Chain A
Amino acid sequence: MSGDVLRLAGRYAVLAAAVVLLNFFIPRLLPGDPLTFSSGEGLDASAPMSAAAKEQLRVYYHLDEPTSRQLLAYLGDLARGDLGWSIARPSSVGALIAARLWWTLGLLLVSLGVSLVVGVSLGLAAGRRPGRRGDRLLVSGMAALAAVPEFLVAIGLLAVFSTGLGWVPLLGGQTAFISYGGDASGLLSRTLDIVSRLTLPAATLVLVGAAGFVLVARDAAAGTQGAPWLIVARAKGLRERSIAVRHVLPNIAFPLTTYLALRLGALFGGALVVERVFSVPGLGLLAYQSIRARDYPVLQALFLLSGLGVLVANFGLELLYLRLDRRRGTSHA
């Protein structure tokens, strides 16, 4: 049993190492070194860069040293937690990320949680009566929703609820410098402020992510409809809800876990779009601004962190999957 876990851990350790190395090699593998390739010489620049920025990059990439020493320096910096200095802002990359990390994490986790709960509930409800009107409507609706790119959903919500109806503030984040009392009501006000500003960005992510959960849950629930144990449970007079919770839910755990793992890869893209449209001061907006400014140290750090983050999350999910699999004994239907 722990052999499985060890193998899994080993695999992920290799992947993590690969991410770290990839992060080192990407700018070096592309033709030319990061400076001449990206900035060319003045007029030949595909991506023009100032001399000061080039100099900073030279230092950041340790370009004056042989590659092996560059690698050692890079690994050493990482081990120390040093992610370098931003070219575009007078700050260390680590500080820039730390100031913005919680906005993005909070937004993503909350939306993931909500879309999971809402999606699964809707899906289960529809799956109980597959083929009926409500079910067909739901499935078509989700299919239609899944055809709309995130940024369109974001703009749509912005146009209707913020600019249009004025129900929600335009910008994400929090109101600057509001000082709330340290007491409970102050905390409440602050929370409400943040919640109202993050409502639309979160709603966008939920809408985009829920479709998948709905369909996974629905398919799984529909798939169990004819199962003998379900018929027995119903015959015994168990209420629908307890049936759903105690019997159907565990059944959909597998596909759900699979789908969750899928969603993780897509989250960063979602954060990027949503934070850009709603000006949430998170990592997505930082990424967006850093591209404009060609702030490579920041982009490399974001790539590394998101890569490792997704790996960690996937590892967790696969562990969960292993455990579920074991509990069920044989492979499920």
Chain B
Amino acid sequence: MRRRRPGLFWVGAGLMGLFATIALLGPLLAPYEARLPVGPPLAPPTDGYPLGTNDLGQDTLSLLIYGARTSLLVAVAVTAVSTVLSWGVGLTAGFFRPTEAPLMMLSDLLLALPSIPLYLLVVTLVGPSLQNLVLALALLSWPAFARIVRSVVIEVRSAPYVEAARSLGGTRAHVARRHLLPATLDLLPTKLILTVRFAVFAEATLAFLGLADSGSVSWGTMLSNAFDDPLLFSRPVWPWLVFPPAVAIVTLILATTWLSTGIEGSIGGVPESVGAAAVESGPHAEHTESREGAALTGPRRRSRSR
């Protein structure tokens, strides 16, 4: 089967690569240590400060680079934890009958709850450290994928060739390894991209609201500090305070959108894939697939795989 990847996919991949590089090389690339006030406050772009400085005299470009590290670090961590968790739960539920009911009820419950108030309550209790943020976001995003994995496992489990393998004497472990795992692997890329997107959205919003770790440099806190200034829009430099982090956030998210077109939209025209990807990858997208699994027969899914 040939998968024709739309051009946008490569744009997205390229951008992600760029962000990842920036994040990895951060301190080497940044002209200054981001948290050090190094220049005159509220300066427009000049020699030494390519994007100007903020109200404390910290270099905007350096803040941007360090912010990329935070965003990507959180995104990767959340994705890793969430994927492992959901994959594990999905496999377990699909494979071991007795665990299916309780696990699915748990994921149902988590999906039914509005995530923000839950997050607020938890983070107020445990404190807004980076680690807690990652854990909380991972906990909010695992249920959806778990359902999908489980349903795939069930499908595959009852497939004829698996039955044949079992009757030929294959152990459960062997069956799992050779048949189930590969089947679920196909689903992984989508999950990864969607979760990265969700994490970036969530981290930026929470940082802006002041609910994330205020000790770390983040695009969201850059915007929050700018917005707290009562005279922000009267200062001529305000575009330099607002646009760099805003554009960074939007670009990273668009990159994930474009990446997802290449993964999902193997069939069908580009616009559809982009559209579908956009909708299903909104800030609270982790609920998408689950809703289908939960109660409805999944019209969305069907039309998507058309």
Contacts and interface: CB of A to CB of B under 8 A. Distances in A.
Interface of A: 8, 11, 14-15, 18-19, 22, 26-27, 30, 34, 37-38, 46-47, 130-131, 135-136, 139-140, 142-144, 146-152, 155, 159, 163-164, 211-212, 215-216, 218-220, 222-223, 254-255, 258-259, 261-262, 264-269, 272-273, 276-277, 287-288, 290-292, 294, 296, 299-300, 302-303, 306-307, 310-311, 314, 318, 321, 325, 331-333
Interface residues of B, number: 62
Given A139-B271, A139-B275, 11 more contacts: A47-B127, A147-B250, A149-B253, A149-B283, A151-B223, A211-B282, A255-B299, A300-B121, A307-B113, A310-B114, A318-B296
A159 B249 contact: no
Most chain B CB within 10 A, of A139, A287, A332, is at A139
Contact of A273 (B120, B209, B277, B306): B209
B25 interface: no
Q: Is the interface of A mostly helix, strand, loop or mixed?
A: helix
Given A258-B291, A258-B296, A310-B112, A147 B272 contact: no
Given A273-B205, A276-B209, A310-B114, A146 B281 contact: yes
Given A38-B127, A294-B124, A135 B271 contact: yes
Given A152-B249, A287-B117, A30 B122 contact: yes
Interface in B113-143: 113-118, 120-127, 129
A215 B278 contact: yes
A150 B282 contact: no
Given A146-B282, A151-B223, A47 B124 contact: yes
B32 interface: no
Contacts of A38: 124-127
B18 interface: no
Contacts of B109: 15, 18-19, 22
B162 interface: no
Contacts of A269: 114-116, 205, 283-284
A233 B134 CA distance: 54
